[in-house]
Amino acid sequence: MGPYDNDKGEHFELPEVMNAHWLVHDETDALYIIAREDDGFEGYGDDDDILEELFALTDSELEDDDAMAEKGFTLVYQPLRRFEPETGYYHA
């Protein structure tokens, strides 16, 4: 969930989250957002075991369509990424 702006009464989008690695787990349709190596946050996802697996990968591995497909993930490209200021949720 994005940080909240009390003055505007809504959440605000973090550029580092929108520029992170976005992946959908093919079995569960769960969204995982994994920070790039130099960003200031870790990531987001439903399953701690899957997150640990993704955290262990490098940026180049996380960007490789074929390698991630073999691991059961689909990459989410920029045009499909969304942020809802009212709720503060990121989704694809």
Residue type, 48: D
Cα 6 → chain centroid:
25
How big is the chain, counted in residues? 92
Cα 27 → chain centroid:
17
- Per-residue pLDDT of 36-72, as tens digits, reads 988 777 888 988 899 999 999 999 999 999 999 999 9
Identify the DSSP state of 28: T
- pLDDT band, residue 1 (cuts 50/70/90): low
* Average pLDDT, rounded, for the chain: 90
7: Cα within 13 Å, side-chain hemisphere = 1
